Amino acid sequence: MGFYDNMIKWLAGFFCALYRVEVVGRENIPEDTERSKLPGFMLCSNHIANLDPVVIVAAIRIKINWMAKESLFKIPVLAPLIRALGAYPVNRASGDVGAIKRTIAQLKDCKSVGIFPQGHRQPGTDPRTTEVRHGAGMIAFRSGCDVLPVAIETKSRKLKLFSKTVIIVGERIPFADLGLEEGNTEAYKHATELIFDRICALGEAYRSKHA
């Protein structure tokens, strides 16, 4: 068993207990692409807390390499944890072509990556009312990858210790359904908004059912 597997084995139970994690749509969780050598996919989720990548990986228990803002790698406890889970920094202010190229290369190399289309945390806010950046659409176009939509839901839309956190895994969106026949800004915008609409719909369906 490798280092990553040991990390997941240790972390999953701890964080799932700490944040009372429940998984909905477990049947939609794909195989670990690095292990199976299947094509990589892009996991996209709403973003409510710095620990979102850790909680999502603890819930679904497959390897996801996260594109994370570089400031997180300056937090003493969090930095080594997210690095161990495959995270790598991106400088959002500069566009960080290097991080984008690394993401595309990983997807083409049977590795799966995690991206937050909102770009930064939006705690306590209905994700439907927030803006999204369009990098997810561009990365999907250049890599030809499918997308796995995931919604994080809590009562307060904030990640709180010992409060129930629901990770809702949606059906995979095939690349062909993203409308990326053209590689331009409008196509990237449309694809990212389609992805984020699916994410919001997952959360809304859960809230409606459990109102």
- pLDDT at residue 154 is higher than 60: yes
Measured between alpha carbons, how far is residue 152 from residues 28, 42, 176 in Å? Answer: 15, 16, 25
Mean pLDDT, rounded, for 30-40 = 91
Q: How many CA atoms lie within 13 A of 51 on its CB side?
A: 17
**Tell me: the pLDDT tens digits for 113-140?**
999 999 889 999 999 999 999 999 999 9
Q: According to the model, what pLDDT value does residue 145 have?
A: 97
Which token pair is 207?
Answer: 């809230």
Rounded to two decimals, what is the model's pTM? 0.93
Q: Which helix (H) or strand (E) holds 102?
A: helix 97-108
Q: According to the model, what pLDDT value does residue 3 have?
A: 63
* 29 confidence band (pLDDT: 50, 70, 90): very high
- Contact yes or no for 26/123 (Cβ under 8 A): no
Q: For position 57, which CATH number holds?
A: 3.40.1130.10
Which token pair is 178?
Answer: 């993203």
CA-nearest of 194, 200, 199, 196 to 180 is 194
Number of domains the chain is built from: 1
Mean pLDDT, rounded, for 89-104 = 80
Q: Which residues contact 129 (CB under 8 A, 6 or more apart)?
A: none
Per the structure, the complete domain to which residue 38 belongs is given by 3-209
- pLDDT at residue 27 is higher than 90: yes
More confidently predicted of 19 and 12:
19
Question: What secondary structure letter does DSSP report for 23?
Answer: E
